[in-house]
Amino acid sequence: MLTGCSGAAAPASTVDAEAAATGDWVVARDLEPGMGSVEADGVFPRSVTHFGGVTEIPAAPTRIAVVSTGQLDALLALGTVPVAATRAENSGLVPQYLTDAFPDDASALGTMSDIGKRTEPDLEAIAQADPDLILINSTRGTELYDALSAIAPTVLTKGNGVNWKSDFLLIADALGKEGEARGILDSLQSDSAAFAATHPAGEPTVSFLQSTGDRTRIMGVPSFAGGIAQDLGLGRPASQQFDDTSQDISAEQIDLADADRVFYAGIGQGQTFIEGAPLWSTLGAVAEGRTVAVDYDPWFTNAGPVAARLVQDQIVRAVKAD
Closest CA to 208 of 199, 219, 216, 200: 219
Note down pLDDT in tens along the chain; length 322 residues.
Answer: 333 343 333 332 222 333 333 346 678 889 999 999 999 999 999 999 999 999 999 999 999 999 998 999 999 999 999 999 999 877 789 999 999 999 999 999 999 999 999 889 999 999 999 999 999 999 888 899 999 999 999 999 999 888 999 999 999 999 999 999 999 999 999 999 999 999 999 999 999 999 999 999 999 999 999 999 999 999 999 999 998 999 999 999 999 999 999 999 999 999 999 999 999 999 999 999 999 999 999 999 999 999 999 999 999 999 998 7
State residue 139's pLDDT score: 84
Handedness of CA 219, 223, 225, 228 (dihedral sign): positive
Handedness of CA 89, 91, 97, 99 (dihedral sign): positive
Structural domains in the chain, CATH included, are 17-191 (3.40.50.1980), 206-320 (3.40.50.1980)
Distance CA 93, CA 235 (A): 35
Q: What is the pLDDT of residues 234-263, one digit of tens each?
A: 999 999 999 899 999 999 999 999 999 999
Distance CA 23, CA 86 (A): 36
Q: What is the pLDDT of residues 60-98, one digit of tens each?
A: 999 999 999 899 999 999 999 999 999 987 778 999 999
Distance CA 77, CA 71 (A): 10
Does the reported pTM lie above 0.75?
A: yes
